[in-house]
Amino acid sequence: MGGVSITTTGGTEIMIKEEAIGVFRASLRGDILEPRDAQYDDSRKIWNGMIDKRPALIVRCAGVSDVLQCVRFARSHQVPVAVRGGGHNVAGYAMCNGGMVIDLARMRSVQVDPVRRTARAEGGAIWADVDHETQAFGLATTGGTVSDTGIGGLTLGGGFGWLMGKHGLTCDNLLSLDMVTADGQFRTVRATEHPDLFWAVRGGGGNFGVVTAFEYQLHPVGPVVAGMLLYPVAQAKSILAHCCDFLRTAPEELGVVAGLLTSPEGAQLCGVVVCYNGPQAAGERVLQPLRAFGTPSLDILVHSLANSPEVKKPLLETSRGGYLAAVSVSAYSLVALTRRLGPMMRRGGAVVSLTYMASERAIPGYGGGMSSAKAALESDTRTLAFEAGRAWRIRVNTISAGPFASRAASAIGIIDRMVAYCAANSPLPEALQAMDVGHAAAFLCSPLAAGITGTTLYVDKGYHSMGMAVDTAVQSPESRVPPSQSPIPNP
């Protein structure tokens, strides 16, 4: 008779019968993965690739009820528990060996109350989820320094982020939370309910329970002046000392992170990342002493086209604001980045802009002014190549990729059909891979392309050269216009 081998909280190994696992499985809306399941290995991967733990059970929860069932099952069978939120903890606390992982990754909804300036986020959300929803109302809260960090670990551990100078740590902005405690009970915890527990979870770390939802105080945020200054590592001592002196009188609207890092090509650098929450002119004034110090060093600048807020609207239905936003986020952003960062680049450096399905193709269902934005981007590539080349001796090129199923492209809504269509009809009839684009970008940034600037390079398996489809019918037979009714005369 089968079952699941578990290492108990007391350190002994026991076998939980398959019947008990079946009853547990039936109580869930989510699902259970065991080591024999195909998705098990992918589900135990976390941000730190060095962590290689093998839980006996991974329970992918769909809601609070699932979490309650998990905790109660673990109590009754003495099963050790790990809780996975964003899976970003470097020590690998999101996984365990021989126990149960309560995986909250499917619980990522975020609701914003713009009147009260609060947000309620489920325990599996990452900061990108929270920021995406809150910024729709010009609001945010202190939320880490990178977008793929889980909100759970960061909040329970205190919460260091760009806005903390003015708005405090993440835990300072925590209003309440919903949690399942170790006794298998659901509790809402706030300053007036379970105040001792509320005190503990605001920076005290884990092991107080499984948090299924957090409620945060929000603040008006944006626009911001942000970016990274890079210097040769030989300047690190003077740069870091200057940062310390600078920060003694810096305003609370400014967040700064400085340290040593290694670039993708192996160069050792000193990096200073800044984020000023306030008007651009004020941010420029505040940051001027920092930017003027030392000799920045930058070899490669990569710009990526962004979709407009009205990308799913036909061009004829696009508003003036949506049209201008498309040009701003896609074309003007390249101009702005090159203007700001060009002076920091070494002679011979490369600026590469990434776009897709360039402007000469009409794509039904993909509008919002993006066709015009991409045409402007390609035109500006030539002009920027001349101006930036003369000013700083750097190169500017654009890659126009064919369709592939990236996260950004999924916003179009028809990306799967576009991929299949182009794969069937391109001169090289196969699907484009992200690595194809990466290799082209690496070439344009390398000394091998030292003589190339002002170019739009097509990386699309030759699809841009096609005049019509060859393997896919343009129309179904029943929808074709009979020759006698066609406005086009027969030859």
User: Which sequence positions are flagged as catalytic?
Assistant: 356, 366
10 Å Cβ neighbour count for 369? 26
CB-side exposure of 415: number of CA atoms within 13 Å?
Answer: 15
Partners of 101 in the β-ladder: 58, 82
Rounded Cα distance, 419 and 306, in Å: 19
CA 22 to chain centre: 37
Give the closest residue to 460 by CA, choosing from 385, 332, 361, 333.
361
User: Is 202 within 8 Å of 174 (Cβ atoms)?
Assistant: yes
User: Is 104 within 8 Å of 152 (Cβ atoms)?
Assistant: yes
Rounded (to 5) percent helix, strand, coil in the chain: 35, 25, 40
- Whether omega for the bond prior to residue 223 falls within 30 degrees of 0, making it cis, is yes
Rounded Cα distance, 259 and 22, in Å: 51
Rounded Cα distance, 8 and 73, in Å: 12
CA angle 155, 182, 34 (to 5 degrees): 90
Structure tokens at 243: 């940062």
Alpha helices in 328-414 (DSSP H): 333-341, 370-392
User: Is 310 within 8 Å of 367 (Cβ atoms)?
Assistant: yes
Rounded Cα distance, 171 and 155, in Å: 5
What is residue 271's DSSP assignment? E
- Three-state DSSP at 186 gives strand
